[in-house]
Structure 1
Amino acid sequence: MTEVDHSKNIGASKWMILGAVMTGVIMGPIDGSIVNVVLPSISRSFQTNYSVVQWVPTIYLLAICSFILVYGRLGDMLGYKRIFLTGLSGFAGASLLCGLSTSIWMLIVFRAIQGLTVAMQMAIGLAIVTEAFPPYERGKAIGIYATAIALGLMVGPVLGGLIAQYLNWRFVFYINAPIAVISLVWGYRVIPPGKRKPGQQLDIWGAVLAFVSLFSILLYANRGKNWGWFSPQCLTLLGISVMFGGLFFCVERKSEQPMLDLSIFRNRRFTLACLSSLINFMALYTVVFLTPWYLSDALYKHVFAVGLVMLAFPLVTLFVGPLSGSLSDRIGFRGLAFAGMSIHALGVVLLSRLDGSASSLDVGWRLAVCGLGAGMFQSPVNSAVMGSAPRKFRGIASSFLAVMRNTGMAFGIAVAGAIVYSLAPFTTSGHAGPFTGRELSLFLNGLHWAYLAGAGFSVLSAGAILLAWEKN
Structure 2
Amino acid sequence: MSTATQPAGLPERWRILAAINLGTLMAPLDGSVVNIALPTLTHAFGVPLVTSEWVAMIYLLLVSTLLLTYGRLGDLYGHRPVYLSGFGVFSLGSLLCAAAPTMGALIGARAVQALGAGMMMAAGPAIITAAFPSQERGRALGLNGMVVAAGLALGPVLGGYLVTRFGWRSIFLINLPIGAAGIFWAGRVIPRLPTRPGTGAFDVPGAALAGLGLGALLLALSRGEVWGWGSGAVLLLGFVGIASLGLFVAVERRRRDPMVDVALFRNRVFASSSASALLNFMAQFSVTFLMPFFLQDVQGRTAQEAGLLMLAFPLMFLPLAPLAGWLSDRWGTRELAAAGMAVLALAGWTLSRLVPESGAASIVWRLALVGVGAGLFQPPNNSAIMGSVPRERLGQGSGMLATMRNVGMVLGIAVSGAIFTTRRAAYLAGPAGVVAQQAYAWAVRDAFLAGAVLAMVGVLTSLVRGAPVPLTPEPAGTMMEADHSRRARGAAPHKGGE
| Band the TM-score falls in, shorter-chain normalisation | over 0.9
- Give 1:360 shift: 2.5
1:316-465 correspondence runs (5 A): 316-425=316-425, 438-465=435-462
C-alpha deviations, 1:54-95, integer Å up to 9, x for none? 111111011101111110001111111100010001101101
Q: Which residue of 2 aligns with 1:429?
A: none
Secondary structure of the residue that 2:265 maps to in structure 1?
Answer: helix
**Whole-angstrom distance in 1 between the partners of 2:299 and 2:346:** 22
Residues 80 and 194 of structure 1 are in contact (CA less than 8 Å); yes or no, is this contact kept in structure 2? no
Secondary structure of the residue that 2:435 maps to in structure 1?
Answer: helix
C-alpha deviations, 1:253-280, integer Å up to 9, x for none? 1112111111111110000000010010
Secondary structure of the residue that 1:102 maps to in structure 2?
Answer: coil
**Whole-angstrom distance in 2 between the partners of 1:471 and 1:346:** 26
Structure-2 change in CA distance of 1:172 and 1:306 (3 Å): farther
Residues 270 and 389 of structure 2 are in contact (CA less than 8 Å); yes or no, is this contact kept in structure 1? yes
**Whole-angstrom distance in 1 between the partners of 2:306 and 2:180:** 31
Which deviates more from structure 2 when the two are superposed, residues 346-355 or residues 5-14?
Answer: 5-14
Identity %: 42
Residues 279 and 408 of structure 2 are in contact (CA less than 8 Å); yes or no, is this contact kept in structure 1? yes
Q: Which residue of 2 aligns with 1:57?
A: 56
Query: Within the alignment, does 1:42 sit opposite 2:41 as a pair?
Result: yes
Letter in 2 for 1:354: L
Residues 386 and 394 of structure 2 are in contact (CA less than 8 Å); yes or no, is this contact kept in structure 1? yes
Number of residue pairs the alignment of both structures matches: 461
**Whole-angstrom distance in 2 between the partners of 1:347 and 1:10:** 41
Q: Which residue of 1 aligns with 2:483?
A: none
Letter in 2 for 1:194: L
Relative contact order (C-alpha < 8 Å, sep 6+): which is higher? 2
**Whole-angstrom distance in 2 between the partners of 1:283 and 1:16:** 34
Residues 341 and 459 of structure 2 are in contact (CA less than 8 Å); yes or no, is this contact kept in structure 1? yes
If you compute each CA radius of gyration, which structure gives the higher value, 1 or 2? 2
Q: Structure 2 stretches of 5 or more lacking a match?
A: 427-433, 470-498
Letter in 2 for 1:275: A
Q: Which residue of 1 aligns with 2:201?
A: 201
Secondary structure of the residue that 1:12 maps to in structure 2?
Answer: helix
- Give 1:185 shift: 1.6
Query: Within the alignment, does 1:249 sit opposite 2:246 as a pair?
Result: no
- Give 1:300 shift: 2.8
- Give 1:425 shift: 5.0
Q: Which residue of 2 aligns with 1:469?
A: 466
- Give 1:149 shift: 1.5
1:57-456 correspondence runs (5 A): 57-197=56-196, 200-425=200-425, 438-456=435-453
- Give 1:182 shift: 2.2
TM-score of the aligned structures, taking structure 1 as reference length: 0.94
**Whole-angstrom distance in 1 between the partners of 2:436 and 2:35:** 24
Q: Structure 1 stretches of 5 or more lacking a match?
A: 427-436
**Whole-angstrom distance in 2 between the partners of 1:75 and 1:24:** 16
**Whole-angstrom distance in 2 between the partners of 1:360 and 1:174:** 36
- Give 1:6 shift: 9.7
C-alpha deviations, 1:381-439, integer Å up to 9, x for none? 0001100111110111001110000000001001111122223359xxxxxxxxxx922
Which deviates more from structure 2 when the two are superposed, residues 165-174 or residues 336-345?
Answer: 165-174
- Give 1:4 shift: 4.4
- Give 1:217 shift: 0.8
**Whole-angstrom distance in 2 between the partners of 1:178 and 1:302:** 34
**Whole-angstrom distance in 1 between the partners of 2:301 and 2:325:** 35
Structure-2 change in CA distance of 1:45 and 1:140 (3 Å): same
Structure-2 change in CA distance of 1:338 and 1:31 (3 Å): same
Secondary structure of the residue that 1:257 maps to in structure 2?
Answer: coil
**Whole-angstrom distance in 1 between the partners of 2:386 and 2:53:** 35
- Give 1:116 shift: 1.1
RMSD: 1.9
- Give 1:148 shift: 1.3
Residues 158 and 308 of structure 1 are in contact (CA less than 8 Å); yes or no, is this contact kept in structure 2? no
- Give 1:5 shift: 4.1
Which deviates more from structure 2 when the two are superposed, residues 82-91 or residues 28-37?
Answer: 28-37
**Whole-angstrom distance in 2 between the partners of 1:6 and 1:195:** 22
- Give 1:307 shift: 2.2
- Give 1:3 shift: 9.7
- Give 1:305 shift: 2.7
